[in-house]
Chain A
Amino acid sequence: MLKSANFRIGETILGLASLGLGLFIGVETWSTPPIAAQTVIGPGLFPALIATGLILVGLQLLCEAYLHRLQAEEFPELDWKAVILVAAAFASQLVLLERLGWIVSGTFLFAVSAMAFGSRTHLRNLLIGLLLTALTYLVFDYGLDLDLPTGSYVEDLIDLAGGSV
């Protein structure tokens, strides 16, 4: 009973998301001033079609949710705490990656997400994270000429150390 009620909420979220995205694209397209370029079909037609589609599908999903015509589908049980932990660790990369660099922030991401998966060997997780990030840093920055960030703070530190020697 609880499960199907949950699922109706899910269906509603999906419907609202489609509807919202459709409306957003529609309004945005509508309010963009037409461009002067001489084309038969402007840049607005295709977005308008997609917006219409999204709104229709959104309404259809809401209908399905409201009429509850689907066979009782299972809504999986979820460990929300673990999800939020991993999502937060990942989000921290947006701030940390370019400041602390790939090695430090990547190791942090690895260790936190391993913890969320129930691992309790924190020190070993940190070491493996360090090994993986250091290895990829070497391969990418020296082998493949791609730039994984060293980190602006780390660079400052290296400069400081270099300056004092």
Chain B
Amino acid sequence: MNMDTLAALFHGFAVAATPYNLFWSLVGVTLGTAIGVLPGIGPALTVALLLPVTYGMEPTSAFIMFAGIYYGAMYGGSTTSILLNTPGESASIVTALDGHAMARKGRGAQALATAAIGSFVAGTIATIALTFVAPLMVKIALLFGPTEYFALMVLALTTVTAVLGDSLSRGLASLLFGLALGLVGIDLQTGQARFTLGISELLDGIDVVVVAVGLFAVGETLFTVARHCFETEELYQLKGSKWLSREDWRRSWKPWLRGTALGFPIGALPAGGSEIPTFLSYLTEKRLSKHPEEFGHGAIEAVAGPEAANNASAAGVLAPLLALGLPTSATAAIMLAAFQQYGIQPGPLLFDNNPELVWGLIASLYIGNVMLLLLNLPLAGVWVKLLAIPRPWLYSGILLFATMGAYTLNNNIVDVALLWIIGVIGFGMRVLNVPVAPCIVGLILGPLAEQQFRRALTISQGDASVFFTHPISLALIVIALTLVLVPTVLRWRAARQASEAANQAANQV
């Protein structure tokens, strides 16, 4: 079986290594890094903004370019969080902690280097793991019926919601808003139009790209303009030696490997994401370090580990995306939307129907990683220059490209209007501290979940107990419930203890 995988991978390299596809891969990693570096633009937005560039390309090349953009944006994001302390997405928050502290001490170049090499090591190992795990996942997926798929999606939706942010009700509000947006359009099974408000352009549904760009780009721009006169940024230039000393290497290589070991498996779980592994990696490194007191003040381990974990989980997330059609992060949700734009539905059948595309994409991940290492180590200084773009121009440019992305989706102004509305809502969410990712994942998974839900109930002739009598489905739903209930109970107990302690303190006084 492994021989089959190797043969398929080998074939993938034959597809990815043609000069034509190598060129698109290079364009992808370069654009991905360049856009990902810009402050305020995380990987999800990078992929969404660059989507129009691939229209008109044939799918295999387009996805090879996408793979490059995806990995490139991950590399670029770490540069921003280290030098500017404005993490573009929640997974780089941990990198920003010590990375920025290193930059403040004049060790920015070393922080960037350990992040880049760590990303390369983690990305390569995790891509190898993806190569072998994805076909296994396909085998498991073939055992799944609609009931199990629905339960799996419920699990994915719950983790995205329960894990992010600190208020469950806010996460749920965001998720349900996304699910509600997903309802708009023609119902696939009966052809009935739902919630289109009489606007014919809405019959096709609301595009994930419009929502992602609206929430991330327009919402973020409005929030930044509202806050910019209250905040100051500190950008640290790179100075001194660019290279890692022997000491830096010695302190980095184990965190890279441990970060990878945490990042890939958690990312590959259908309920994964990259926030948990980066936090876990930080905690692990802090516990194992000989100098835990340096953590928070520029410990190189605290950049090497989480950054490796972040990249490994980015590769891991691709496993459920390709094998099950299940996105577990905002970025993956947009990648799924990109697939759908080409009329391709990722999932077990994709490996049979479209092996060139799947294996070409996986092979291009290996190639892209090497390109990124070469691009990032010597050219770090060039990317840093991008950080110095004056903010008025940067954000005005983001708005411009957001408008362009929305308009070119279907060449109509309705998408631009939607972009504006969603952008204003996104601003409100940002102000009220409502997480955005549940909304995007809900929008893309909602319609898929509904289809499986109705298929499952059609097979069982309306008997809703199927979700609890099929063992796999029951197990998945129990896990989902545990994920919601345990943190809620813990939080409730912590709050009660805190209030009791406060009462006691008050009584003593």
Contacts and interface: CB of A to CB of B under 8 A. Distances in A.
Interface of A: 10-11, 13-14, 17-18, 21-22, 25, 28, 32, 35, 37, 39-43, 45-47, 50, 53-54, 57-58, 60-61, 64, 69-70, 73, 75-80, 82-83, 85-87, 90-91, 93-94, 97-98, 102, 106, 109-111, 113-119, 125, 128-129, 132-133, 136, 140, 144-149
A35 B190 CA distance: 8
B396 A114 contact: yes
Contacts of A76: 226-227, 230, 431
B453 A46 contact: yes
Given A22-B176, A106-B400, A113-B392, 19 more contacts: A21-B180, A28-B195, A43-B192, A46-B183, A46-B453, A50-B446, A54-B173, A57-B169, A57-B176, A58-B173, A90-B399, A91-B420, A93-B403, A106-B404, A111-B396, A117-B225, A132-B400, A133-B400, A144-B56
A110 B400 contact: yes
Contacts of B427: 83
B423 interface: yes
Given A47-B194, A61-B173, A87-B424, A54 B404 contact: no
16 contacts: A14-B170, A18-B173, A46-B453, A50-B183, A53-B179, A61-B173, A80-B226, A90-B218, A97-B413, A114-B392, A117-B392, A119-B393, A128-B393, A144-B52, A144-B53, A147-B408
Contacts of A94: 413, 416-417, 420
A79 B396 contact: no
A119 B390 contact: yes
A110 B397 contact: yes
Contacts of A109: 396, 399-400, 403
B228 interface: yes
B493 to A, nearest CB: 14
Contacts, number: 200
Nearest to B499: A69
A149 B410 CA distance: 12
B226 A39 contact: no
Interface stretch (B18-26, B71-79, B255-263, B455-463): B455-463
A145 B189 CA distance: 34
- Tell me the interface secondary structure of chain B in the complex: helix
* Interface residue tally on B, bucketed by range: 35 or more
The 8 nearest A-B residue pairs measured at CB: A117-B392, A119-B392, A114-B392, A43-B187, A78-B226, A113-B396, A41-B454, A82-B225
A113 B176 contact: no
A14 B167 CA distance: 13
Contact of B55 (A45, A80, A144, A149): A144
B458 A102 contact: no
A39 to B, nearest CB: 6
Contacts of A145: 56
A146 B191 CA distance: 30
A147 to B, nearest CB: 6
B335 to A, nearest CB: 20
A76 to B, nearest CB: 6
A25 B225 contact: no
Contact of A41 (B399, B416, B462): B462
B434 interface: yes
Interface string B211-231: 000000010011001111110
Interface string B222-243: 1001111110000000000000
B398 to A, nearest CB: 9
Nearest to B463: A40
B432 interface: yes
B457 A41 contact: yes
Interface in B184-222: 187, 189-192, 194-195, 218, 221-222
A98 B412 CA distance: 9
A138 to B, nearest CB: 13
A109 B403 CA distance: 10
Nearest to B447: A46
A118 B190 contact: no
B351 interface: no
Given A94-B420, A106-B400, A136-B404, A40 B458 contact: yes
Given A14-B432, A57-B169, A41 B458 contact: yes
Contacts of B341: none
Contact of A117 (B167, B183, B228): B228
Given A79-B227, A90-B420, A113 B399 contact: yes
